[in-house]
Structure 1
Amino acid sequence: MKFRNIFLLNLLLFSVSILAQSTTYRAEKEKKHNLIHTKLSVDFNFDDKTMNGEAWITAKPHFYATNKIALDANAMLIHEVSLNNKILSYNYNEYVLEIELPKTYTKKEEFTIYIKYTARPEKVKDEGSKAITDAKGLYFINADGKDATKPIQIWTQGETQANSAWFPTIDAPNQKMTQELFITVPNKYITLSNGTLVNQTTKGNNRTDYWKQDKKHAPYLAFMGIGEFAVIKDNYKNIPVNYYVEKEYASYAKDIFGLTPEMIGFFSEKLGVDYPWDKYSQIVVRDYVSGAMENTTAVVHGEQAYQKPGQLIDNNLQENTIAHEIFHHWFGNLVTSESWSNLTLNESFANYGEYLWRAHKYGKTDAEMHYYEQVEAYKNGQNQDKSLVRFSYDEREELFDLVSYNKGGAILHMLRTYLGDDAFFQGLKTYLETYKYDTAEVHQLRLIFEEITGQDLNWFFNQWYFGANHPNIEISYDYNTLRKTVTVNISQLQSETFKFPFAIDIFEGTKRTRHTVFVESNDASFTFPYNRQPNLIQVNADNILVCNLYENKILSEYIFQLKNADNFAHRREALFQVASKQDDKNAFNAIVDALDDDAYKIRILALQQIDLINKFSKKDAIRKIMRMANNDDKTLVQAEALSTLGKLTDPELKPIFEKALQSKSYSVLGKALVSMYYIDQPLAIQKSKELPDEVRKILATPLTRIFIEAKDESELPFVAKSVVSGMFLANDDATKVLYQKAFDQIAVSNNSEAIQNLVDDMVVKGKQYTGFNFDKVMINLMRKMIDQQKKESKSNYLRNIEIIKTAMSKLL
């Protein structure tokens, strides 16, 4: 599962209280029985959001003979339990169904229990988490069809242990089963489940689809999706690869998901293990409770996957997620972590799959940018003091954090670098082949690497997997000009001692010499010779070690670093240092030179940081930025160049903006409109109003900037639909301030349509994220609106107050 939901990450600021870490040991679930096979037959009651189910659960005792079996079954109505047509006695407390077997079974004896039941997902009391906002297991979307803007859909979400809300099972990751699923639905609906669609049987207005998964996987990976979808067919070799999307997006499905076959092929080759399943389907659903989920052969994505060509030309924002979920089909699905404490065996690998894909498809620099952002997100997070493997926690869902994902992926990259590619990938291949269709724990991964390399790796795993935090390192240098040596002093500032390989680059002019040392103590020094005084010494030169570095450098060193450092992270660091001193001519020129950097994100940052009020080479810099605005090979850079030029409010730049208004890129178009606004306001407003509705929705932020600054009352209803998302989801403070300003304008306006749109959106967001008390945040904002409306004497203020009060009652 991908923890990509930016909304949830920002929402933590409002709603998640910090609890003391649990001291309760969370063991792997005891295996009293082994699941063997699950057969289900289901149909649905749309009116009351329930599901009629029949289950045939085949199991056997794991070791000890027993005459009972306990199945997880959340909030169900149990109608019948039998074995070989004989009714069985049972006890049920709405969570666990404990069944009396007719005899004592040994570990060599299988049995199949029949259960007739009704699943009631709306009665489920389990709460969600930061990564998965709900735990109902089974979701009816717009079941009554009253929302004209939303299709009717049904879908499931099993991780962590929510599939037991729609079928009885042993809901634990250390179980593996094959499955069959018969889904009966009205003929107009398409279904998707794990495995192969064996056949379809039509009877009147209904159809039964028979899906069969004949390779074992964990119960949480079972999936069922139902709705009116277009199915776009693709393939990898002889394996079907299909994309299930709403019909509006059928023509864009391959633009969004079309790299899937190449990803499957790349991962198969890289791992030395062929893709192990019989198909790969992806489905996009509405109101999904997470980012995506790796259900075996039936991956589900939230609607953020939907993107139009004008967005995809900038960046396919779902590409990393697509790679992540595919990689799970080896790490998580083929071999599954035996307990949630060992979640790193699933999520850290899937995170690292993103890096592997980007390095393969887009090269070294792109992969470095991805790695840097992943590690920085972890270092800026709130869980640095938690170990990667955690046997003590309050709720299992809290394990789905930036440690398990981002830090875990980085740790794998550190291990790969330390062992070398041959040993690392041979280890992964051996691990997958040894535990295929089974479960594993981290120690088993370690033992495989030890067997291959002949090394004792306890130090690495104890430090990075079972320990927490990362090194904080202070660097200093001692030069001996007579001997022509430099000593690099490495001091660890934290209490614990980390051991690690450390890359050090010494630059003599443009000649770079790489030294790799091994640090084993809190204070270590390493001496290196040089022929001429080094221009720069770059520590953690490959930026692989997860750490915080503290060192003092002068401006000339940062300028040199910006131009010559090998890794994106070090050039980025230098850029900010140099940008803060642009009163220096060399510093300014270095920022101008950075506009040509190989990393497009460096070019963007240089555009954002450049000081064009500078007295140095201003005209040359502007000419370069003008060329970038229309011709850079990355549209996101073009967009930022337009924004930079727009700050000059120079009418002579109008042709640049006019040309950009013809761009297919929505990011370019949005920046061009805002820049045009400051030199030709009527034209910018006219172009903004002429855009198709679907484009206006995507360009909500730049258009909001234009309409709010212009105080265009007629556009407040449009602006109102984006305010909540803008205030709480935006990645930058400037956008949040913009939407706060928009909120304030609407709150005191006489525009009842805008008020209605705003509070409707608040209700939707409040109901969607109640697990985070977001509804309380919305209610407080509505109260503020009432106070502001009462201060007004406009004709509609009483009506507007009633609109707000009605919305508040829906949340309350």
Structure 2
Amino acid sequence: MKKSSLVLALFTTYISSAQDIVVKTNKDVAWKKTYRAEAPKINDLVHTKLDVRFDFDKAWMYGKEWVTLKPHFYPTDSLALDAQGMTINEIAVVSGTKKTPLQYNYDQKTLKIKLDKTYKASEPYTIYIDYISKPNDLKTEGSAAITDAKGLYFINPKGDDKTKSTQIWTQGETESNSVWMPTIDKPNQKSTEEISMTVPAKYVTLSNGLLKAQKKNADGTRTDTWKMDLPHAPYLFFMGVGDFSVIKDTYKGKEVSYYVEKEYAPYAKKIFGNTPEMMKFFSQVLGVEFPWAKYAQIVGRDYVSGAMENTTATLHQESAYQNARQLLDGNIWEETIAHELFHQWFGDLVTAESWSNLTVNESFADFSETLWDEYKYGKDAGDEHNFDALVKYLQSANDDLSLVRFYYKDKEDMFDAVSYEKGGRVLNMLRNYVGDSAFFKSLHKYLTDNKFKTGEAQQLRLAFEAVTGQDLNWFWNQWYYSNGHPVLKIDYDYDEAAKTAKVIIQQMQKTDNVFRLPIAIDLYTGASKQRYKVWLNNKTDTFSFSYTTKPDLINVDADKILLCQKTDNKTADNYKAQITYAPLYLDRREALEYFAENKMPELSLGLKDKFAGLRSYTLDLLGQDSSILTNTALLSQIENMVQAETDNKTKAKALELLAITGNEKYKPLYTKYVNDSSYSVAGASLGGLYLLDQRAATDLAKTLAPGAKGKLDEAIGAIIMQGGNETDYEFIVARIKNQPLSENKITSALVFCGYLAKLSDTQKIKSGINEVIAVMKEVPETYRTYTDPAFKQTLQKLANAKGGEIKTYIETVLK
């Protein structure tokens, strides 16, 4: 599962107020006493066979199921199946061609079935169930990661919305597939499966495993039968139906396919085309070949999360769709593609035995994004992603939560920045500590020892200990079973008479928890480097180093691997040496930050960095300093950079920086690039033109609007709302309405309030307010803790600006 980034920016902006709301309203603390153990096993799933057909008018699914089970160990005469909100027509035990009806009780959540006899552990038995799934009648609650939990989704089933495809897809994680199939809906169960789907013949289907049969029916439908011969968890079962184009690829003779709407068929291989290379790379580093018979990826409309690793059939949200111009700025979905693929090993082949141990699924998938970026685009790219993920964890304010968590209010709460970003950084530290060879051999052992079974953090530890020959309890106790992270203060003392340098490292975290940290310290004299490996074990540790010539730089955590916050009290000369000699992404980034904070001219060194990410970051830092507006030499350098830069997003940043000067001399650059094939470059150029001639740029924005996406689309929306007048109202409203729910749509709705403040037509203003409220309510309830304050503050600002009737209207609709 890849979390949705729907409101990431708003989350960051409003996190403080949102946390206050949570603290004030969440008085239920009884869960703190409920130990979340692995689900007990009374019966084990063996095989699940389904025969289903769909009622598009009612949004129902008619199902017949033959589920084979056996007692786990102790003899039993009863069976409990999860079955949410169904109508049950018949339950029987099947023996050959004979069906024997069974007694049962059903409370709309659990089917409690009395078996026809007591079965022993060696005796499999098959239960037949005839039922109706009614997902839209079910009242469920989602989470920040998975915004809805009704399991089975009918998208535009009657075709009323001509702008949206008719689709069906399922979403099982955490325990929602029991909305459409009675099962033991727990991650520690595994079953083979066979699913037959009867659908209108114009649609294609997708499920786990291989398509084994297709049968045309006399009523214009077709029955597709999919079979999965290897066991996997019930939450990973999947069905997809729709008018998709299927683009075929291959990996070692196995089918790799991409299910997309026809509009995106020409771009499918550009979006997903690195998948076979990813499969090869991950198979090689893990020493475990891709374990399944095929791998398909499908994009679903109105999906309730980011993406989901259904075994052999990953489901992605619409954000995966990009056209050729968007892809010129880089594939924004590539890390998600890697994330879900890595789950086919960590999560699907070996599955977390309980949600408390979700780290053995999600932390690995998160780590794979760094691993892929490093392999495909170089160490700087991997380190940049690793750092960005660290920042997300630190900003989440979840330092009171541990990776393995046996106490939580709801299983959905486990899908957070601890299980994802922190866990991924913990694995990256472990990789550095034991070395690449031991790290990947340990993962190989964990996967092979537990394949088609379940895993937990302790099994992972045992695999690492078996390979390395080390007792690693200290690492697991510190990073998996405890919370928080070190907060380091690093000071230096040089005694030139004694030719001794001291490094004093204090752990400043407020808790009594003292971290044990193996780190590398590099001493640089010019380009010459000497490495020392040391351990932090105390609240304060002091390390002394003798020297002949005073070091130009002492680089603590020289591999830049620690999951920590730090204050590193180096001098300006130290940072000059660091950007010159220390090789890593974070070495250079830290130096650039210091130069920016202290307004040093060395900041411009970042404009020539070998890595586009740091060139772009340097432009961001320069843009925070108003003196850039009068630094003609630096502006000339940035102008030349626009002409020479090969990375589109960095070129766009350079154009944005020139634009804030408001200087007419750069207008030819904006005119040249406003029709650039890169949306980022075109959007930045349009913004530059707007600052010089608002009316002309607004008219141009309307011309460029049809089909625009990405940064160009964002620029168009902002410009028309800022520079538009009464006559632009219908255009702006239609534009907001037609956007799928996204961070950009929410931002557009908030900016729209500023446009409404300029209008005098009361009816248009009220109608516009209704549109803003509609977007506000479109946000899933789970996210509204974060988005509602933004909407209410913005609407209140509009109310204060307009006063009178409009103020009264806003106050009424917000009640």
Deviation, structure 1 residue 565: 3.5
* Residue 627 of structure 1 pairs with residue 644 of structure 2: no
Structure 1 partner of 2:210: 196
Structure 2 partner of 1:769: 780
The CA distance in 2 between the partners of 1:359 and 1:531, in whole Å, is 37
Which string of whole-angstrom CA distances, capped at 9 and with x for unpartnered residues, describes residues 518-548 of structure 1? 2222222212223322222221222211111
Structure 1 partner of 2:683: 670
Q: 1:231 aligns with which of 225, 246, 263?
A: 246
Q: 2:301 aligns with which of 258, 268, 286?
A: 286
1:615/1:270 CA distance change after superposition, 3 Å: closer
- Give the 3-state SS of the residue equivalent to 1:460 in structure 2: helix
Kept in 1, the 8 Å contact 2:683–2:711? The answer is: no
Deviation, structure 1 residue 630: 2.9
Structure 2 partner of 1:638: 651
Deviation, structure 1 residue 446: 0.7
Q: 1:116 aligns with which of 119, 130, 138?
A: 130
The CA distance in 2 between the partners of 1:614 and 1:729, in whole Å, is 36
Deviates further, 11-20 or 542-551: 11-20
- Give the 3-state SS of the residue equivalent to 2:147 in structure 1: coil
- Give the 3-state SS of the residue equivalent to 2:158 in structure 1: coil
Kept in 2, the 8 Å contact 1:604–1:640? The answer is: yes
Amino acid at match of 2:612: Y
Provide the alpha-carbon RMSD of the alignment: 3.0
Amino acid at match of 2:554: I
The CA distance in 1 between the partners of 2:771 and 2:488, in whole Å, is 50
The CA distance in 2 between the partners of 1:701 and 1:23, in whole Å, is 47
Instruction: Identify unmatched segments of 5+ residues in structure 1.
Output: none
Which string of whole-angstrom CA distances, capped at 9 and with x for unpartnered residues, describes residues 656-688 of structure 1? 222212321101000001112223445433432
Deviation, structure 1 residue 618: 3.5
Structure 1 partner of 2:590: 573
- Give the 3-state SS of the residue equivalent to 1:346 in structure 2: helix
Structure 2 partner of 1:403: 418
* Residue 603 of structure 1 pairs with residue 615 of structure 2: yes
- Give the 3-state SS of the residue equivalent to 1:392 in structure 2: coil
Deviation, structure 1 residue 787: 5.6
Kept in 1, the 8 Å contact 2:147–2:305? The answer is: yes
1:331/1:766 CA distance change after superposition, 3 Å: same
Structure 1 partner of 2:502: 487
Structure 2 partner of 1:144: 158
The CA distance in 2 between the partners of 1:22 and 1:407, in whole Å, is 22
Q: 1:319 aligns with which of 320, 323, 334?
A: 334
Structure 2 partner of 1:475: 490
1:666/1:704 CA distance change after superposition, 3 Å: same
1:753/1:327 CA distance change after superposition, 3 Å: farther
Kept in 2, the 8 Å contact 1:472–1:492? The answer is: yes
Kept in 2, the 8 Å contact 1:717–1:754? The answer is: no
The CA distance in 1 between the partners of 2:336 and 2:727, in whole Å, is 39
Residue pairs, 1:209-288, within 5 angstroms: 209-288=224-303
Q: 2:468 aligns with which of 443, 453, 465?
A: 453
The CA distance in 1 between the partners of 2:659 and 2:383, in whole Å, is 30
Structure 2 partner of 1:687: 700
The CA distance in 2 between the partners of 1:565 and 1:556, in whole Å, is 13
Residue pairs, 1:458-607, within 5 angstroms: 458-494=473-509, 495-582=512-599, 587-588=600-601, 590-607=602-619
1:758/1:672 CA distance change after superposition, 3 Å: farther
The CA distance in 2 between the partners of 1:705 and 1:55, in whole Å, is 53
The CA distance in 2 between the partners of 1:440 and 1:569, in whole Å, is 34
1:278/1:361 CA distance change after superposition, 3 Å: same
Amino acid at match of 1:504: I
Kept in 2, the 8 Å contact 1:723–1:743? The answer is: no
* Residue 17 of structure 1 pairs with residue 22 of structure 2: yes
1:791/1:417 CA distance change after superposition, 3 Å: closer
- Give the 3-state SS of the residue equivalent to 1:577 in structure 2: helix
* Residue 707 of structure 1 pairs with residue 720 of structure 2: yes
The CA distance in 2 between the partners of 1:385 and 1:166, in whole Å, is 37
Structure 2 partner of 1:72: 82
1:642/1:294 CA distance change after superposition, 3 Å: same
1:743/1:720 CA distance change after superposition, 3 Å: farther
Kept in 2, the 8 Å contact 1:720–1:746? The answer is: no
* Residue 660 of structure 1 pairs with residue 673 of structure 2: yes
The CA distance in 2 between the partners of 1:46 and 1:317, in whole Å, is 34
The CA distance in 2 between the partners of 1:141 and 1:43, in whole Å, is 16
Residue pairs, 1:115-194, within 5 angstroms: 115-194=129-208
Structure 2 partner of 1:7: 7
Kept in 1, the 8 Å contact 2:491–2:570? The answer is: no
Deviates further, 739-748 or 254-263: 739-748
1:146/1:594 CA distance change after superposition, 3 Å: same
- Give the 3-state SS of the residue equivalent to 2:637 in structure 1: helix
The CA distance in 2 between the partners of 1:456 and 1:609, in whole Å, is 45
Residue pairs, 1:793-804, within 5 angstroms: none
- Give the 3-state SS of the residue equivalent to 1:570 in structure 2: helix
Kept in 2, the 8 Å contact 1:38–1:55? The answer is: yes
Amino acid at match of 2:179: A
Deviation, structure 1 residue 646: 1.0
- Give the 3-state SS of the residue equivalent to 2:335 in structure 1: helix
Deviation, structure 1 residue 697: 7.5
- Give the 3-state SS of the residue equivalent to 2:427 in structure 1: helix
The CA distance in 2 between the partners of 1:699 and 1:756, in whole Å, is 27
Kept in 2, the 8 Å contact 1:657–1:676? The answer is: yes
The CA distance in 2 between the partners of 1:353 and 1:758, in whole Å, is 44
The CA distance in 2 between the partners of 1:615 and 1:393, in whole Å, is 50
The CA distance in 1 between the partners of 2:748 and 2:161, in whole Å, is 30
The CA distance in 2 between the partners of 1:604 and 1:460, in whole Å, is 36
Structure 2 partner of 1:48: 58
Deviation, structure 1 residue 83: 1.1
The CA distance in 2 between the partners of 1:311 and 1:166, in whole Å, is 37
The CA distance in 2 between the partners of 1:753 and 1:308, in whole Å, is 34
The CA distance in 1 between the partners of 2:477 and 2:552, in whole Å, is 38
Deviation, structure 1 residue 246: 0.8
The CA distance in 2 between the partners of 1:189 and 1:72, in whole Å, is 30
The CA distance in 1 between the partners of 2:497 and 2:43, in whole Å, is 74
Which string of whole-angstrom CA distances, capped at 9 and with x for unpartnered residues, describes residues 439-487 of structure 1? 1111111111111111111111001000110111121222121232211
The CA distance in 1 between the partners of 2:702 and 2:69, in whole Å, is 63
Deviation, structure 1 residue 745: 2.4
Deviates further, 242-251 or 517-526: 517-526
Amino acid at match of 2:10: N
The CA distance in 2 between the partners of 1:61 and 1:616, in whole Å, is 75
Amino acid at match of 1:153: Q
1:738/1:188 CA distance change after superposition, 3 Å: closer
Deviation, structure 1 residue 141: 1.1
Kept in 1, the 8 Å contact 2:753–2:794? The answer is: no
Q: 2:68 aligns with which of 31, 34, 58?
A: 58
Kept in 2, the 8 Å contact 1:724–1:762? The answer is: no
Q: 1:435 aligns with which of 450, 453, 461?
A: 450
Deviation, structure 1 residue 739: 6.3
Kept in 2, the 8 Å contact 1:563–1:594? The answer is: no
Identity of aligned residues (%): 43
Amino acid at match of 1:595: L
Kept in 1, the 8 Å contact 2:705–2:716? The answer is: no
The CA distance in 2 between the partners of 1:8 and 1:569, in whole Å, is 24
Deviation, structure 1 residue 752: 6.0
* Residue 376 of structure 1 pairs with residue 385 of structure 2: no
